Amino acid sequence: MKVLVTGGTGFIGSHLVEALPGDIVCLVRKTSDTTHLEKLGVELVYGDLTDPESLKRAAKDADIVYHLAAYYTFHGIWEKYYTTNVLGTRNLLDACESVDQFIYCSTTEVVGPVKTPPADETHLLNPVYDYGRSKVMAEQLIQETIKEGFPATILRPVGVYGPRCINDVSYYFMMHAAHNSVLTKFIVGSGETLVDFVFVKDVVQGFVKALTKKAVGEVYFISSQKAVTYNEAYEVLCRLLERDPPQLHVPPFLAKIGIAPLELLYRLIKKEDFMVHVSTVDVTQTDRAYSWEKAYKDFGYKPEYTFEEGARITLKWYKEHGYI
C-alpha cells in the first residue's frame, strides 16, 4: 500500500507519518526541514500545492492520501488562505482521481463556538476566523467530489497539542503558563467556558483508524476525552508547573483594554502570539467542545489521554528542548 501524506513536515503530520503502515511518500517544499522525515526513511517528493505537476508526481500510484498541508494561522492573509487551503486542495483532488481513500484534515474551526456543547457533525458551520472559512470552502470542494463518488473522508480535529507543537494555539497557551506571563495572572470572565484540546497521539489514532471503507463519504470530529473549562486548564498546568493557579477574574472588556496596546506592539515588531489578540478574549468567552461519538461508533476512535496526562508529556518535551 502506497500512502501519500501532505504536511508531513508539520506538527501533526510528522507524528502521523511515524504511525502509518505501508510505503509512505511525503510531499515537501524545498524550504521545509525534512530532517525528521529523512530519519524515518520515507520517500520525499518536492513540490507544492500550487504546483499541479508536482502533485501528479507525488500522487502517482498512491492508494491512500492524507491531506494535512495548509496555511495555518489565525491572523493571516486571505489570499494565502485561499491559494493554499482552497485552490491547493482543488489541485490535489485533481491529482488523486484513482485513490482508494482521500482523508482530509479539516478543523473544528469550521464550526466555531457552540451554544449547546458538545456539538456533533450536524452542527451549523459558523467559522470566526479566515482560517476556518478557508477550510469550509475546502470541505465544500471535497463534498462535491463525494457526491460524484470520490472516496473522501473529512476529519475535524480540535486544538491539538503535544511534543513538537511550536506554533499552535495550545503552544502559546502553555508557553504563557510555563513562563508565568502576565496573561496567566488572571482569567477572563468566569473561566467556566469550555476549551477542547486533544493530545497528538489521540489525533494520530483517529487518523489511522479512519482508514476504512465505513468512513468514506463521512465527516468526523477528532476531539479529546473531555473538554475542560479554562479554570480547569489553568489548574492542571499550574499543578504540573508547581505554581498556584490564578485567582483573579477580569471582565472581558477590561482584558481587551489591557491587551490592545500589547497586540499593537506585537504587530509593530511582527511577532505572532495567539494569546496577544483582542479577538482571543472573545474566543475565551464561548464554548468550544465537540463530540467524538460518531468516530467511536464508525471506526473505534477513543481518546486515551486526559488533558493532564497529555500536558505532562508535552511540558516535559518543552523542558527537554529548551522552550521552558
Rounded CA separation 215/311 (Å): 30
Q: DSSP secondary structure string, 123-189? A: SPP--SSHHHHHHHHHHHHHHHHHHTT--EEEEEE-EEESTT--SSHHHHHHHHHHTT-GGGSEEET
Please enumerate in sequence order all residues whose Cβ is within 8 A of that of 277, keeping only pairs 6 or more positions apart, or say none: 74, 75, 259, 263
Decide yes or no: CATH 3.30.2420.10 for domain 2-161+197-225+289-304: no
pTM confidence score: 0.96
Average pLDDT over residues 268-297: 95
Average pLDDT over residues 271-292: 94
Cell of 260: 490592545
State residue 312's pLDDT score.
98
Beta bridge partners of 67: 6, 104
Q: Reduce the DSSP state of residue 9 to 3 states and report it.
A: coil
- Answer yes or no: is pLDDT of 73 > 90: no
State residue 75's pLDDT score.
86
Cell of 32: 521545509
What is the average pLDDT value for the chain, to the nearest integer? 96
Instruction: Give the pLDDT confidence of 6-57 residue by residue, as tens digits.
Output: 999 999 999 999 999 889 999 999 999 999 999 999 999 999 999 999 999 9
Task: Report the percent of the chain where pLDDT is more than 70.
Answer: 100
Rounded CA separation 107/110 (Å): 6
Task: Report the percent of the chain where pLDDT is more than 90.
Answer: 95
Rounded CA separation 12/162 (Å): 9
> Which of 157, 200, 160 is CA-nearest to residue 292?
157
CA angle 210, 216, 219 (to 5 degrees): 75
DSSP class of residue 24?
E
Q: Residue 35 in contact with residue 47, Cβ under 8 Å?
A: no
